[in-house]
Amino acid sequence: DVVLTQSPLSLPVTLGQPASISCRSSQSLVYTDGYTYLTWFQQRPGQSPRRLIYKVSKRDSGAPDRFSGSGSGTDFTLKISRVEAEDVGVYYCAQGAVWPYTFGQGTKLEIK
Amino acid sequence: EVQLVESGGGLVQPGGSLRLSCAASGFTFSRYWMSWVRQVPGKGLEWLANIHQNASEKYYVASVEGRFTISRDNSKNSLSLQMNSLRREDTAVYYCVRDPPKFDFWGQGILVTVSS
């Protein structure tokens, strides 16, 4: 199975400061259609996961523009330009290029 | 508005069975692949199964293959997960998810507890 390794697993951030989460894959996530199916989710306490970014860098319409995704092949990054209080939660990367689909371990973002 | 509402969870003994349902609304259900994903409380996410728009293809993760069956009824906009031979480690919140591998919409989740 494809292993997605996130770092850090815990991310204390001061309000208004940037934050970055890495997701590294054990193999390429480029699918046969040429797209890279790497997705980022936010899970706030007590809520379901909510998609923020898909196909590496495409931001969902409801996701604030302070969230951005980048990367290629096996190395991906989620960046938050200025952390706000509502960003507290756990962030997961996930791959949909190779069955079975798999998730990273999650990164818990908290406010310092 | 896209809505996915799971039901059918609860407490079941080890070795028992349970059937989860997901009622979909706000979109043309028959046009989408659908999936089930679970999350052990306080832990990470695990993809369980996918089903094609017309149920012609189904895929399972190894940990549930042969015990769980995904199905759908497009006439009722409904997705199901039949879970047999349940184990304590199947205790989790189960989510209905639209359109793998894009995973764009998730239900609120339903708790399944396997315990004697």
Does B1 have pLDDT greater than 90? yes
For the record, the structure tokens of A44 come out as: 């706030």
Q: Can you tell me the mean pLDDT for A66-73?
A: 96
Given this model, what pLDDT does residue B102 score?
Answer: 85
Is B59 part of the contact surface with chain A (CB cutoff 8 Å)?
yes
> Which residues neighbour A83 within 8 Å (Cβ) at sequence distance 6 or greater?
A13, A14, A15, A16, A17, A18, A19, A109, A111
Question: DSSP readout, B51-87?
Answer: E-TTSS-EEE-TTTBTTEEEEEETTTTEEEEEE-S--
- Give contacts of A103 with chain B, Cβ < 8 Å: 44-47
Question: Chain B partners of A25 at a C-beta cutoff of 8 Å?
Answer: none
Angstrom distance (rounded) from CA A38 to CA A30: 9
Instruction: Work out the average pLDDT over B6-34.
Output: 97
**Statement: residue B27 has pLDDT above 90:** yes
Given a cut of 90, whether residue B23 has pLDDT beyond it is yes
At B64-115, the pLDDT tens digits run: 999 999 999 999 999 999 999 999 999 999 999 998 888 999 999 999 999 9
Query: What's the angle, vertex CA B10, arms to CA B103 and CA B60, rounded to 5?
Result: 40
Question: Judging by DSSP bridges, how do beta strands A107-111 and A10-13 pair with one another?
Answer: parallel
Rounded mean pLDDT of chain A?
Answer: 96
- How distant, in Å, are the alpha carbons of A76, A85, B31, B80, B106 from that of A44? 21, 11, 29, 26, 13
Indicate the residue of B44, B108, B109 with minimum beta-carbon distance to A105: B44
Largest distance between two CA atoms of chain B = 40
Section B53-68 average pLDDT: 96
Q: What is the mean pLDDT of residues A19-42?
A: 95
The nearest alpha carbon in chain A to B110 belongs to A48
Question: 3-state DSSP call for residue B90?
Answer: helix
* pLDDT of B42: 86
Q: Which residue of B has its CA nearest to A106?
A: B44
